[in-house]
Amino acid sequence: MNRSMKGAGFLAFLAIASILLGVGVGSVPVSPVKIMIALAGQGDEGVRALILGLRLPRVALAFLTGAALSVGGTVMQSALENPLASPFGLGVSAGAGLGATMVMAAGLTGGIAGAFLLPAAGFAGGLGTVLLALALAKAFDARLSSVTVVLTGMVISLFFSAVMDLMAAMSPEYAQRIGLWQMGSFAAKGWQGVAVLGPVLLLCFVLFMSRASMLDVMTFGDEQAQGMGVDPQRSKRRVIALVAVLTGTAVAFSGIIGFVDLVAPHVARRLFGAGHRRILPAGMVLGGSFMVLCDLAARTLASPREIPVGAVTALLGAPFFLYVFFKKRGR
């Protein structure tokens, strides 16, 4: 009890601190007190507009995206009993990228329709690819073994990436935009992303939490899971489809931001053990906070230029991951 209280305290501190930092730091610094005043609808009009209209939606989307990728990664790793599995590895990123590339290469990004079309194509691409990978895996291997799923996802992922690169090369006028979208950004997305991703994340999180024990059992592999009272194939299909919806929604708004789906679950497990009742919320907060801080770095380090946030997550994530993962073994 004491330890979990400490853990919860640490997570709460991390979340609040990262959000305050994310909202407060920038070309115009805003103190936490001013942020609170602005949130309460008081104080300077300019600060209020800056925080509520610009920084807060950006930070909120970053947090939700990080949280969604982390939850998706955690659940995917468990369902496929493979600590190196991730939603992106299964084709979410490649599919979403292909969908978005198609829209951009067709020059359909202008206007209000374009603002909706791009995320919709990203979402459809991501979800569709995972479902395709699942269907193919099922056709190859009726038992839907995890190795088959991972391999099929990987192959489809690589194939779609190649198609995406090809399309980008064929339409050089959009190549830079496509390239940037592939590295992700939270700039100028407004509240629209938060309004969609928030409820999807909440729903998925509650669904996963309600089946935390089942996810625990699934980490022991299909045979043992079946022996313990879980139908591995059915559960796997449902879980993966749900993860595709969640992460597909996340990348639809922000573009592809790698590494968080892989790193956050591992850090959560290192710190809080493997039980899903703890690592789902913990991973969510860790992933969200990490994303907010990465986004902060992305927009401040080279200011006024912005670095793609996907590059920051990988730059910070890779060494941090190595440190956390091998710290124990190296000793």
Residues at the site binding other proteins, with contacts judged by CB under 8 A: 78, 81-83, 142-143, 209-214, 216-217, 219-220, 222-224, 226-231, 269, 273-275, 277
- Asked if 295 and 313 touch (Cβ cutoff 8 Å), the reply is no
* Of 26 and 83, CB closest to other proteins: 83
CA distance 71 to 75: 6
- Asked if 240 and 90 touch (Cβ cutoff 8 Å), the reply is yes
Residue 231 Cβ vs other proteins, minimum distance, rounded to whole Å: 4
Residue 217 Cβ vs other proteins, minimum distance, rounded to whole Å: 5
* Of 187 and 207, CB closest to other proteins: 207
* Of 107 and 143, CB closest to other proteins: 143
Q: How far is CA 155 from CA 259, 261, 289, in A?
A: 19, 19, 32
Which letter, b or e, does each residue of 126-158 get, where b requires 16 or more Cβ atoms within 10 Å of its Cβ? bbbbbbbbbebbbeeeeebbbebbbebbbebbe
* Of 34 and 276, CB closest to other proteins: 276
* Of 228 and 322, CB closest to other proteins: 228
Residue 112 Cβ vs other proteins, minimum distance, rounded to whole Å: 40
Residue 308 Cβ vs other proteins, minimum distance, rounded to whole Å: 31
Residue 141 Cβ vs other proteins, minimum distance, rounded to whole Å: 9
One-letter amino acid of 267: V
Nearest to 231, CA basis, from 21, 43, 79, 35: 79
One-letter amino acid of 307: I
DSSP three-state, residue 64: helix
Length of the chain measured in residues: 331
Residue 223 Cβ vs other proteins, minimum distance, rounded to whole Å: 6
CA distance 163 to 168: 9
Question: Taking the mean position of all CA atoms in its chain, how far away is CA 61?
Answer: 11
* Of 106 and 142, CB closest to other proteins: 142
